[in-house]
Amino acid sequence: MMRTKSDDPRLTAPQCHSLQPVTTTHANPWFSVKNRGGYFTIEENTPQVQILPIVENKSIVMVRVYRPVIADNTLELPAGGTNGDELPVSVALREFREETGILVSDLNRFQMLPPLVHMARSPILPYIFKSTLPSKNMI
């Protein structure tokens, strides 16, 4: 299992160098929207992590989140961004606990998967971790 930051540049920097000029059309503490030569991208300010928590190979843990932009609740995989120099696997552990209330104390339960596009407008891929979990009374 990967315990350090990846050497894969798709996980740490935009990969659209030929789309010039680049201008920022919006920025806030969490992300920016950039015009990259006529293509608009949404770029997170920190590396992102998503967790695919599988319980006893029967179900997936998801979180219900209210999204004001669509004025509705969505079901989502636990996810979040890094704080400072956190390792991606540590972020997975922290975000999973923050969003589900489930404490997994063994980092070995988080297996890094190959990068996966989660939003077609982002030029940076997230870290994806699969976590295989026992039933509720065994965690």
88-126 pLDDT tens trace: 999 999 999 999 999 998 889 999 998 877 667 778 888
Average pLDDT along the chain: 86
Region(s) of the chain under CATH 3.90.79.10: 47-138
Task: List, in sequence order, every beta strand (DSSP E) within the chain.
Answer: 22-27, 31-36, 39-44, 48-55, 59-60, 63-67, 72-76, 79-81, 110-113, 127-133
Span 47-138 CATH architecture:
Alpha-Beta Complex (3.90)
